[in-house]
Structure 1
Amino acid sequence: MENIFRRMNLDTIGIGASMLCAVHCAVLPLLFAALPLLGMEIGENDVLEYCLLLFSFGIGCFALGQGYLRHHRRLLPLLLFVGGFALLLVGHFWAEAAAEYTLICIGAGAIVSAHLLNQRHRRYCRIHKHH
């Protein structure tokens, strides 16, 4: 099982999950605005919101934790991830409508940056044999 996780690039999956969450948050309001014009109505899907947040958090913790513990021991990717995820949570649950999308976009950007930085540090350590 561990061999499967070594072959998969979890940072890339984490970036994809964060981007999926950001696209979901950006497209969903447009979809809600357009559906009544087509005669359809749907409510917000809280289960989907929670699943996306949980998936993004789980992949991020695993990928960044593994990168930190096994490869580079640098805190910046972890701090970016925690800060970005905190912004996502504030945007989703406590922000007013005007600030919601701004906080979510900044949070998703921080999470993507954390994964990219983690990839860079892992690649550098692999090349220079620092683990």
Structure 2
Amino acid sequence: MASVLRSRGFDGVAMSLSGLCLLHCLALPVLAVGLPFLSVVAEAEWVHWLLVALAVPASALALLGSGGRRAGPLVLGATLGLSLLIAGAAGWPDHDSETVMTVAGGLVLAGVHALNWRRTRQVHARP
């Protein structure tokens, strides 16, 4: 039971990181127009790598800690989401697709962790 609670906590952290990632990619550039000092953070490459460095262990701890029969598809989904985040952070295949890749990766990861959070709640709510 304790590992499930930890897993749900990491799912919450991972979903929050996905939200921060989306905020960074979508809202920060708009805010930077009105507040020019935010443009430094909006375009900083280190922010992308910091979010990836936080997302990888949070995702691994949440998904692998929850166990269960259906963890395989969730791990595959998280692998896809993390791969998209890494591709976006690296500017691959080109710099123009960075935002699309990062947003797609963040949405996939948020969805995977929401499913995992719900699944662990349902599995352990049964009498």
Q: TM-score range by the shorter chain?
A: 0.7 to 0.9
Secondary structure at the counterpart of residue 89 of structure 2: helix
Partner Cα distance (2:86, 2:39) in 1: 26
Superposed, 1:70-81 pairs within 5 Å as 72-74=68-70, 75-81=72-78
Task: Give me the TM-score of the superposition, normalised by structure 2.
Answer: 0.78
Over the aligned positions, Cα root-mean-square deviation in angstroms equals 2.7
Mapping for residues 30-109 of structure 1, pairs under 5 Å = 30-34=30-34, 42=40, 44-68=43-67, 72-74=68-70, 75-93=72-90, 94-109=92-107
* Aligned-pair identity (%): 25
The CA deviation at 1:45 is: 2.5
Question: What is the distance in 1 between the residues matched to 2:122 and 2:25?
Answer: 33
Q: What is the TM-score normalised by the length of structure 1?
A: 0.76
Deviation per residue, 1:47-70 (Å, 9 max, x gap): 3222111111111111111012xx
TM superposition outliers: structure 1 runs of 4+ over 4 Å: 31-36
Structure 2: state its 5+ residue gaps. none
Question: 1 CA distance for matches of 2:84 and 2:53?
Answer: 14
Larger radius of gyration: 1
Q: Which runs of 5 or more residues in structure 1 are unaligned?
A: none
How far residue 19 of structure 1 moved from its aligned partner, in angstroms, is: 0.8
Partner-residue secondary structure (3-state), 1:95: coil
* Per-residue CA distance 1:16-60 (angstroms, 9 max, x = gap): 011101111223333454455x8x973732332221111111111
Q: What's the CA shift string for 1:106-127, capped at 9, x where partnerless? A: 1111100110111122112102
